[in-house]
Amino acid sequence: MPLDRERIVAAAIALADEGGLEAVSLRKVAARLEVGPMRLYGYISTKEELFDLMVDEVHAEILPEERPGEWREALGLLAHRTRLAALRHEWLADLLGGRPSLGPNALAVGEATLAALDGLADIDTVMRAVETVNAYSTGAIRREIANVRAERATGLSKRDWQRASGPYLTRMLATGRYPALAKAVYDGTEVTAEESFATGLNWVLDTVAANLDRSSA
């Protein structure tokens, strides 16, 4: 069986899906492909490059088959698909935004994002809009995955955890040094991660809409 980048990246993604990024070592990738570790260096030159290739591969899942006509739908779809990709591949949250993504699929996602706004405002406004939506998305996704992991680690939902003597945080909140925080934790409505993501995203898209208008006026 001939080796190539694709098989290497696929093996690395499988390992990362199963055990997180830290389960990805060049030795384990090589073992899964039944070759010696150094074989890989004929196809990739560094572990970081492998990570870059993994990120780009997942961007292929993010790109929608067809682009909606409405810019707002297009941007929302891309953001939601990025989120879903990160839920399927939690390690993506560790890598997203960590370095510029310049692989062909990531560029295609960037292209789709820009294309959705093309002509709706001057280039600089469009770029600011893209940056803002992307910053929100990656930040929100990272937080969501961080929470998923924390909940999995304690085996409790966030709410239960705080209420029922999540020992450390409860103690901190009980000190009275964080009154607003305590109120938010105890009085806030529980909301799904998807709702939270969608709400913030809509707010951000609202402000993008407002600024597209202002710029074209």
Partner DNA sequence: ATCGACCCTGTACGGCGTATCGCAATCAGT
Partner DNA sequence: ACTGATTGCGATACGCCGTACAGGGTCGAT
Please state, in angstroms and rounded to a whole number, the distance separating the CA atoms of residues 104 and 6.
14
Check the CA dihedral 67-70-71-76 and report its sign: negative
Are 41 and 2 within 8 A, CB to CB? no
Closest CA to 12 of 61, 42, 59, 49: 49
User: Whole-number minimum distance, CB 208 to a second copy, in Å?
Assistant: 7
Please state, in angstroms and rounded to a whole number, the distance separating the CA atoms of residues 17 and 98.
19
Taking CB under 8 A as the rule, does residue 150 contact a second copy?
A: yes
Which two three-digit tokens encode residue 169?
Answer: 């945080």
Q: Using CB under 7 A, which residues numbered 139 to 198 contact DNA?
A: none
Taking CB under 7 A as the rule, does residue 27 contact DNA?
A: yes
- Chain centre to alpha carbon of residue 93: 4
Taking CB under 7 A as the rule, does residue 42 contact DNA?
A: yes
Taking CB under 8 A as the rule, does residue 191 contact a second copy?
A: yes
User: Whole-number minimum distance, CB 27 to DNA, in Å?
Assistant: 4
Q: Which of 18, 34, 66, 187 binds a second copy (CB under 8 A)?
A: 187
The residues that touch a second copy, with contacts defined as CB under 8 A, are 94, 97-100, 102, 104, 107-108, 110-111, 114-115, 118, 123-124, 126-128, 131-132, 134-140, 142-143, 146-147, 149-150, 168-169, 172, 177-181, 183-184, 187-189, 191, 196, 199-200, 203-204, 206-208, 210-211
